[in-house]
Chains A and B, each alone.
Chain A
């Protein structure tokens, strides 16, 4: 197991280096002079020159790259052009809000998708199956930037049950979490159905039924447990979609997380902050994928020996 763990962690290092390199390159993809672009066309030349020096853009590219990587390792991502505060501090201040939203959305998705997927597989080919899968495909197709405002119209504006925006209480979390989790729920429900159907065809399920095990027990205690492995993997892989979705959901519901900070920073051309947000989201995604892979190894012992 330790060898598997070490190998998997080692494989992550070049990916992280590649991610950091891409994030570093972003600032150099800005058409024209990056410092001028950040301050605007009307900015005095002296200010542009000062910013260029402050960001190290006047140094050779390789020096800039080295300084960027050293900063990343030390957790120093520079200073926000808008507020003058360290980027890392602002990211850490916003991280709990995004983590809370992502976790709640995942919970909503898992709680909705598993019963839906199980029902569709157990009653395969019936109206229940068709209804569940049509609902799931609809869930994949409905954009969260539409579902969010629609739910806000219904539950905040018309019924007045929930607050329309902001963060603070559990009630504030409901609409953002449901609108963010709906797409993931749809994908998970389809996966649960597909994998459970495969397991239900396995001889051990027939054997269990022949031994007198009830259908519900055979499905839930035997087949469902084994069908969970690909579902767990998919939850990990879809975490990226949740993080990207959070950028939109946070914007819709004025949720004070990393995603909203990213969009605000793009609007202010605060590129060090944009780089910080992108880097943090990507690194989190890589870490979650790594954790998923490791969990996969724990859940399926065959993986360890490969």
Chain B
């Protein structure tokens, strides 16, 4: 930005030019979808519908906030969908086992949430350590754990469905269906995770290390950054985010099966990339990911609200919008 330093232009103009316009394209895409949606159906802009969209976006969005760390750090995590299914199944089984003992239902739910958060940290650490200490490509490690977690939940469920005890479901239900200050609780949690994620990534030394490793691992090593530790931590954060999403997901249907969380990994990665993070790592931002996750959820919602497009073509439209959104961002960078 040497031009703005030398030119005697007023300060606002330099600031205007320094604005990250390319980073704003996801927001423009979001605005466009909102306009299209509101033209298609009068109920689209109703608070109920918008909250539906946001609560759906919360699962993928929270997972994708973790994914932002992993991808900026130059890694990838394919196991998140299976991990979510496994953590859901394990959490339900543990809570069912604890129920009926001396602990009150509320205590069981709190304990369940605590255990799932801890398990998420451990699962993430397992991925991270296999990658850094085991020196195996992240793609391979997480492809492996994708299969492992998916099989484990199928095994736990005996091929069927794991269902939460009804007494516990009553206590736990408000975590998904409840409101706080007129806004659904999952939306609050999503917002808190996003804000904390943004602060850690953009305002701490750890966040700078993650970006440094992602853009050039060797240089980062020479700069005395403990690459293995930082990189492992990105997977731990990812695991924690998956666990938070699970804690919100379980009260929705009160069950988990082998079909839970299928293809969530691709949706989470798509949200990160639509949000402007480079798949090769090094740069990106959490708020872009948030916008990306909301966009994905909005596309599905808009398509469901109209009969203009045949249901056979839902996937094609989704694909076009995703590619288009990323093209608009990257179009100018190539020149």
Check if A and B associate. no
Q: Give B contacts to A, CB under 8 Å.
A: none
Residue numbers of A with Cβ under 8 A of B are none
